[in-house]
Structure 1
Amino acid sequence: MSRYHELKFRAVTAFQRRIGNPVTTRLPAQVLLETTGRRSGLPRRTPVGGRRTGETFWLVSEYGEKAQYIRNIQADPRVRVRIRGRWHTGTAHLVPEDDPRARLKTLPRLNSAAVRAVGTNLLTVRVDLDGAAPGVTEP
């Protein structure tokens, strides 16, 4: 990662951790991804932008495997997603072979624009919600 990208990562994550996430997690319409902390074992909630397609929820991580929630998924892929105020359990899968820029075109515009603007290492994540057929792939 270049020095510029490292500084950008630090600035954006500091803002998100201290200001953005505490505010947005309280908004009832905000989609939340709940992972299990890989060290603490405690639930960790992260505001995300994504879209449900059938029994699959898609999102794009702006910092790929450097994001804490991605590291938590790698340790334990069982997650919960709050969509429209309702919690859904599922299993998260990192999809590095997916084109994250193309995926962002299928997700909510405002969040996708923010992810493109600040992201340095985009990574697609697919969450198979309980009751979904495994291996569902949507464009």
Structure 2
Amino acid sequence: MTRPADLRFRATTAFQRHVVNPLARRIPFQTLLETTGRVSGLPRRTPLGGRRVGDAFWLVSEFGERSQYVRNIQADPRVRVRLRGRWHEGTAHLLPDDDPVARLRTLPRGNSAAVRLIGTGLLTVRVDLRG
């Protein structure tokens, strides 16, 4: 990763971790992805954007495999997604062969624009939902 991209990653993740995420997690209908911490074993909730299509929830990680929730998925793909205030269990799949820019065109515009603007290593994630 180039130095500017690394600086952008560090600045963005610090801002999200300490400012945006704590506030967004409190919004009742904010979409959340809950993974299991790969070291702690504790639930980790990340506010994010994406779209449900049938029994799948699609999202694009702005920093790919550097994102903490992606690293947690690699260790344990069992996740929960909160959609419109209701929790759904599922299994997450990382899709490095999917075109994340094309995928973003199918997802909500505001979040997709932010992911394209800030992201440095886009990665598509599909969560197969149960129930």
Aligned Cα RMSD in Å?
0.6
C-alpha displacement of 1:29: 1.7
TM-score (normalizing by structure 1): 0.93
TM-score (normalizing by structure 2): 0.99
Which residue pairs with 2:3 in the alignment?
3
Unaligned runs of 5+ in 2: none
Provide the C-alpha distance between the structure 2 equivalents of 1:33 and 1:121, rounded to a whole number of angstroms.
Answer: 19
Provide the C-alpha distance between the structure 1 equivalents of 2:14 and 2:76, rounded to a whole number of angstroms.
Answer: 25
SS of corresponding position for 1:58: strand
Provide the C-alpha distance between the structure 1 equivalents of 2:25 and 2:103, rounded to a whole number of angstroms.
Answer: 24
Which residue pairs with 1:135 in the alignment?
none
SS of corresponding position for 1:59: strand
Which residue pairs with 2:33 in the alignment?
33
Which residue pairs with 2:91 in the alignment?
91
Provide the C-alpha distance between the structure 2 equivalents of 1:29 and 1:15, rounded to a whole number of angstroms.
Answer: 22
Provide the C-alpha distance between the structure 2 equivalents of 1:94 and 1:73, rounded to a whole number of angstroms.
Answer: 8
Which residue pairs with 1:12 in the alignment?
12
Q: Letter of the aligned partner of 1:42 in structure 2?
A: L
Q: Deviations over 1:46-92 (max 9, x none)?
A: 00100000000000000000000000000000000000000000000
C-alpha displacement of 1:28: 1.1
Q: Letter of the aligned partner of 2:24 in structure 1?
A: T
Q: Which runs of structure 2 are paired with 1:1-139 in the superposition (5 Å)?
A: 1-130=1-130
Q: Letter of the aligned partner of 1:102 in structure 2?
A: A
Q: Letter of the aligned partner of 1:61 in structure 2?
A: S
Provide the C-alpha distance between the structure 1 equivalents of 2:97 and 2:72, rounded to a whole number of angstroms.
Answer: 20
Aligned residues: 131
Provide the C-alpha distance between the structure 2 equivalents of 1:37 and 1:14, rounded to a whole number of angstroms.
Answer: 18
Q: Deviations over 1:14-55 (max 9, x none)?
A: 100010000011111210000000000000000010000000
Query: Equivalent pairs: percent with the same residue?
Result: 73
